[in-house]
A and B are shown apart, each in its own frame.
Chain A
Amino acid sequence: MSAGDLLAFRAGGERFAVPLDRVREAARPRRITPLPGAPPWWNGVALIRGEALGIVDVAAAVGLPPSPPRSSPLVVVLHGCDHALLVDAIDGVEPPPAGPVAPPPPGRGALRGVVAEESGFLSLLDVDRLGVRGEK
């Protein structure tokens, strides 16, 4: 692991990344229970390693259509954070982006910026803003 590495994953058909040093683990909770009174980009609550964590639907939080319910949801658990991220699949550890980081397109929330890739782009998530401000 070297400084600046990213964990890349997919959600809502797009690619996202968070700093690898913020990632505690990937987990498959047996169930995510809906949380009454939570904003729509919150998927619910799950018990992960004996801890109750709020689950943020990454797709919904950045303004994409919400993730459909799954029988075996995949979440990324973060250090220093009371919520985990609901994602579709994990791409893996990647070096810091080589190209320039552009500001997020309008209508997308909780992003630090985007990096153009061969096909489409990689969105760099602002993990701390993700739970608080899902701009939708």
Chain B
Amino acid sequence: MSRRPASGASFSKEFLAEAEMLLEEAGTCIDGLDGESDDPNPAKVNALFRAVHSLKGVSGMVGLAGIAEAAHDLETLLDDVRMGRVVPTPAALAAVREGLTALSTLVARVAAGEEAPVLAERLRTRLEAALVTAPVAPVAAVPVLPADLEASLSDYERHRVGEAARRWKGLVLIDLDLDFDAFDTGLRTAMAEASAAGELIGTFPGTATDPSRMAFRLLVALSPEASVPELQEKCGACRVSVVLAGAPAALPSPRAPAPPETPGEAVPQVARGVVRVPLEKVAALVDLAGDLALTRGALGRALRRALAGAPDRSARYEAQRAFSQLDRLVSALGPTALSLRLVPVETLTSRLGRAFARTAAALGKEADFDVHGVETEIDKVLADELADPLLHIVRNALDHGIESPDSRVAAGKPRRGRVSMMVAPRGREVVLTFSDDGRGIDGASIVRRARETGILSAGEPDPRDAFSLLFRPGFSTAETVTEFSGRGVGLDVVGENLARLGGRVRVRSTPGKGTTFEVLVPMTLVLLESLVVRVGDLRFALPVENVLRTLPSRPEDALLVDGTFCLREGDRALPLARLDVLLGLAGQARRALPESVVVAEDGERAAAFVVDSVEGVWDLLVKPLADSVPRHREISGAAEVPGGEVALVLDSGALLSRIYASAASGRAA
């Protein structure tokens, strides 16, 4: 772990001061929300969300994972409220209050000297009880905003614009053109007036008339009693333009056209390595990409001005603003792109259903398999990896759980057995529950068998959860081995595989009544955005955060400095080497001449290397290679790239050291 709690009181004091301030701020916001549950003040909800979000950030930064986790749970709920996905019922507000109390308790425990307090149970489970999901409201009218403004709205701002339109509120833009030396006072006055007249949705940079002035744009949803001329007067040097006129709330809201029906596409079909993506996910991604391009343009212009020499404060300010916007957009792009990887669990369940029918027939059992919650989404890679462990659990239920038809009748049970699979999201995890109505397992007899077979050694006490013994190596193979569940893969492998995916499994059972397997897995896996290059037949991946740029390989860019090849990079000369030579691959059959150069950096140094080609940028699920596996130290792991090939993952620090070392030896020669 790279983030460890700093020891001593120095961090705690700073952290405590900030945490207490944030909790107080959150407390003030929630007090202001009471009695407004129908239409809560969005600014207060948003401020509450931000306070909890910041608390998550600072506690994560000092390594207080327990607080960060609880804050995250509360933040998730608040995000749903502010985005209109959850109705802020009195029960939901009470849950928020409870969450804040829990956070205060945790912070108080840090103040009392506890190093890393955690809640006894996930806050989320308590919060979720209070949720009422809001129906998806049709957007009444689409306000036409200036294109550049439209493109720079965040999701939340966009949601508030839609909400204003849905409630038939007036929407205005205030353009401010302020003297540079006093812009902060002017901006603050205007923001305060805008908030008083309704809801200040966002503050954006404007286009200044000359370099000695600063321009801003405020986007405001007016409350019904606000007047535009009055606002114009109060804000001072500004122009107020009406984007959308307000209307009496009694008017019926025109409905957005229904999306066209696409028959035959109700069940998304997924092949290995191919994901079908709903249109709205693509649209969200394209929107973000557009926003990024605009912000990058703004940043580029400001940087050029800032770098042109003259100390230009407004350029610096603009660069900072553009950067923070870029930062926000890039943060939003990650989850959106990640959502493309999610597939409905349906892809898995149909396979399980077929295996169930086959197994039941082969074992002479009569049983039904029913499935609930197949629309729940799960990471595509995870769905592939889960198939084997879940198949094992289903077969296990038929083989060891469900009795033969005759013994079921004799025991007073229906002749046909039943195995139910329930899938449901729980926060950032997905729970898959498999329940059978079979003979069940007796905890005491599991312990007895474990003692007999030596799985529990003489000195080892009985475990708290007897069923956890089922996942010890050797246990399930000690059971009767049958064609189906004893095929060399025991429950221990199921447990191991789930652990590797960041998941876990629990068993509950009542003898005579049945057994339940509960599998919890994360909804998404941690992915590393990587540049994939090819050398001969091999693919290599480098995290994009270590890639400065790639360029075509051209002889005129190479320089000979002190007997080593270098790449001309602005006014610098970077050491340049061939990846195939560095990794001893020079003898490999070549498909083509090297055509690309990658400039890599590790925060301190930069260097360039030549590859055959650049294949693309993908989010890869990187698997580390154990130290005991011999290879060049520049290779840290492996990852599957789209198409089923395996790329070797490069360690940029080790690679740069190798390039510098080979440059030094070139000089010596």
Contact = CB atoms under 8 A, between A and B. Distances in A.
Interface of A: 1, 21, 23-26, 30-31, 33-39, 42, 45-47, 49-54, 79, 82-83, 131-132
Contacts of B29: none
A37 B497 contact: no
Contacts of B630: 37-39, 42, 54, 131
Contact of A45 (B474, B488, B501, B638): B638
B477 interface: yes
A24 B646 contact: no
A34 B477 CA distance: 35
A82 B493 CA distance: 16
B383 interface: no
B377 to A, nearest CB: 20
| Among B478, B489, B635, B646: residue with most chain A CB under 10 A | B646
B632 A82 contact: no
Contact of B646 (A31, A37, A131): A31
Interface string B475-507: 001100000000011000100010011000000
Given A50-B623, A51-B500, A35 B474 contact: no
Interface in B581-624: 583-585, 621, 623-624
Given A1-B477, A45-B625, A25 B488 contact: yes
A36 B497 contact: no
16 contacts: A25-B493, A35-B648, A36-B583, A36-B631, A37-B584, A37-B633, A38-B630, A45-B646, A46-B646, A49-B500, A50-B500, A50-B501, A54-B628, A54-B629, A82-B626, A83-B628
A131 B635 CA distance: 18
B583 A37 contact: yes
B473 A79 contact: yes
Interface residues of B, number: 36
B309 interface: no
Contacts of B629: 35, 38, 42, 45, 53-54, 82-83, 131
A50 B497 contact: yes
A1 B490 CA distance: 13
B388 interface: yes
A131 B497 contact: no
Contacts of B633: 37
A37 B632 contact: yes
B585 A36 contact: yes
Contacts of A21: 474
Interface in B61-111: none
Given A52-B624, A54-B626, A33 B648 contact: yes
Nearest to A36: B583
A131 B625 CA distance: 14
A71 to B, nearest CB: 13
Interface of B: 385, 388, 473-474, 477-478, 488-489, 493, 497, 500-501, 538, 583-585, 621, 623-626, 628-633, 635, 637-640, 644-646, 648
A26 B629 CA distance: 20
Contact of B623 (A42, A52, A79): A52
A45 B631 CA distance: 10
A46 B629 CA distance: 12
Given A34-B538, A37-B583, A82-B628, A49 B388 contact: yes
Contact of B628 (A23, A52, A131): A131
A82 B640 CA distance: 18
Contacts of B639: 47
B654 to A, nearest CB: 11
A35 B635 contact: yes
Contact of A49 (B477, B497, B624, B646): B497
A34 B225 CA distance: 73
B658 to A, nearest CB: 11
Given A36-B635, A37-B630, A51 B644 contact: no
Contact of A52 (B477, B584, B638): B638
Contacts of A33: 538, 638, 646, 648
A132 B627 CA distance: 12
A75 B372 CA distance: 37
Contacts of A82: 625-626, 628-629
Contact of A35 (B488, B631, B644): B631
A47 B473 contact: no
A53 B624 CA distance: 9
Contacts of B478: 1
Nearest to A54: B629
A53 to B, nearest CB: 8
Contacts of B628: 54, 82-83, 131-132
A34 B646 CA distance: 10
Given A36-B635, A49-B385, 18 more contacts: A1-B478, A23-B488, A25-B488, A25-B489, A30-B644, A33-B638, A35-B631, A36-B584, A37-B583, A39-B630, A49-B497, A50-B501, A54-B626, A82-B625, A82-B626, A83-B629, A131-B630, A132-B628
Contacts of B624: 52
Contact of B385 (A1, A23, A50): A50
A21 B488 CA distance: 11
Contacts of B621: 50
Nearest to A56: B629
A50 B389 CA distance: 13
Contacts of A51: 500, 623
B638 A31 contact: no
Contacts of A132: 628
B386 to A, nearest CB: 10
Nearest to B384: A50
A52 B488 contact: no
A35 B583 CA distance: 10
B650 to A, nearest CB: 11
B455 to A, nearest CB: 12
Contacts of B500: 49-51
Nearest to A39: B630
A50 B629 CA distance: 17
A46 B635 CA distance: 14
Contacts of B493: 24-25
A35 B500 CA distance: 23
Contacts of A45: 625, 629, 631, 638, 646, 648
The 7 closest A-B pairs by CB, nearest first: A37-B632, A54-B629, A82-B626, A52-B623, A36-B583, A52-B638, A33-B646
B9 to A, nearest CB: 42
B22 to A, nearest CB: 39
A90 B601 CA distance: 47
B270 to A, nearest CB: 18
Contacts of A52: 623-625, 637-638
B385 A37 contact: no
Contact of A54 (B489, B497, B625, B646): B625
Contact of B632 (A23, A31, A36, A53): A36
A47 B638 contact: yes
A18 B540 CA distance: 34
B623 A37 contact: no
A3 to B, nearest CB: 9
